Amino acid sequence: MLAVFSGEVVEVPTELVAAGSRTPSPKTKASELVSRFLGTSEPAVCMQLGDLGHLAYSHANQALLRPRYEESRSPSVDCHHGYDLRGLCQCAMNMHSTFQRLLTSDKITKIVLVRSFAAKDDIFCLFEGVLDNLGRLSQQYGLSKGANEVVLVIEAYKTLRDRAPYPASFMLSQLTGSYAFVLFDKATNSLLVASDPEGKVPLFWGITADGSVAFCDDIDMLKGSCGKSLAPFPQGCFYSNALGGLKSYENPKNKVTAVPANEEEICGATFKVEGSTVLTAPPLH
């Protein structure tokens, strides 16, 4: 999945700017990044949020054993693979309202990966992963049994937004499983990005040549457009332009700082939660 936002929405993280300045490397504009994603991830879907950014995703390159399909039929939530927001959102293709769940297994564990998109009340969300406590949380938020993870995240966010100062750390700490998501609230131009406590679903972020901030689960995709202004998104953390930037929801009182990477590493920095003895992600070479 790929999400790109202009500087009008996201304040460019100074840590990523510094990482790119230490070792200058080639970058491209955000529009080129989106075009490359669509060209290499066919079939792909792209939603353009006016001049504010793009959300895109694909089920391509999921070399898994067996697909399982679930369909959402909630009349109040647009869960199809394209969303037309009165002409502001342009879809790369029109598909039915189908969520694809794909299974993998090894000798020890079985992991269910989900890539899905939903939109409701001008709130857009890309979700990758699976929530182990989906049923309990769906009941807690008053959702039907057929609700999936991306719909739940939207409802949880609406509760966070509408019941301020309801803490984001409380909402996110309730999510149990393997996941990463990007949520954009067009009504307030608010962005919320989060990763699970163990970083089981890869997520990276970086800065393009024209100053846009991009989030993607594919480091190679971002590397070509962000150069060294690139880092793994820290596990157990969230980014919100409305709630003070990058923070840890596992340890809300602990500051998140950037650790400069070595020259030979792909990323220019790695983020660490102060007080933790373990870096948020291993070095990538």
Question: How far, CA to CA in Å, does 234 sit from each of 34, 83, 205, 237, 278?
Answer: 23, 30, 10, 6, 11
Q: What is the mean pLDDT of residues 80-109?
A: 34
Distance CA 113, CA 130 (A): 6
Could you give the percent of the chain with pLDDT greater than 90?
A: 52
Question: How high is the pLDDT of residue 29?
Answer: 96
Q: How far apart are the first and last CA of the chain?
A: 22
Distance CA 180, CA 196 (A): 6
Question: How high is the pLDDT of residue 121?
Answer: 93
Bridge-based pairing state of the strands 2-5 and 245-248: unpaired
Distance CA 197, CA 175 (A): 10
Asked whether the predicted pLDDT for residue 91 surpasses 50, the reply is no
What residues pair up with 67 in beta bridges, in sequence order? 102
**Regarding predicted confidence, which is higher, 283 or 81?**
283
Range of weakest confidence among 100-104, 173-177, 261-265, 273-277: 100-104
Compute the half-sphere exposure of residue 83: CA atoms within 13 Å on the CB side of its CA: 24
Question: How high is the pLDDT of residue 7?
Answer: 87
Asked whether the predicted pLDDT for residue 242 surpasses 50, the reply is yes
Confidence of residue 103 (pLDDT cuts 50, 70, 90): very low
Asked whether the predicted pLDDT for residue 115 surpasses 90, the reply is no
Question: How far, CA to CA in Å, does 69 sit from each of 66, 96, 112?
Answer: 10, 12, 12
Range of weakest confidence among 87-91, 135-139, 208-212, 267-271: 87-91
Distance CA 246, CA 248 (A): 7
Q: What is the mean pLDDT of residues 158-185?
A: 90
Distance CA 99, CA 39 (A): 22
Could you give the percent of the chain with pLDDT greater than 70?
A: 77
Q: What is the mean pLDDT of residues 215-231?
A: 93
For the chain, domains (ranges, CATH) are 2-273 (3.60.20.10)
Confidence of residue 13 (pLDDT cuts 50, 70, 90): confident
CB 194 within 8 A of CB 201: no
- The per-residue pLDDT of the chain, averaged, comes to 80
User: Nearest-CA neighbor of 37 among 80, 3, 81, 82?
Assistant: 3
Confidence of residue 113 (pLDDT cuts 50, 70, 90): low
Distance CA 158, CA 276 (A): 31
Q: Convert the pLDDT of each residue in 129-171 to its tens digit.
A: 999 999 999 999 999 988 999 999 999 999 988 886 678 898 9
Q: Does this model's pTM top 0.75?
A: yes
* 3-state class (DSSP) for residue 173: helix
Question: How far, CA to CA in Å, does 244 sit from each of 11, 221, 229, 275?
Answer: 10, 27, 21, 20
Asked whether the predicted pLDDT for residue 271 surpasses 50, the reply is yes
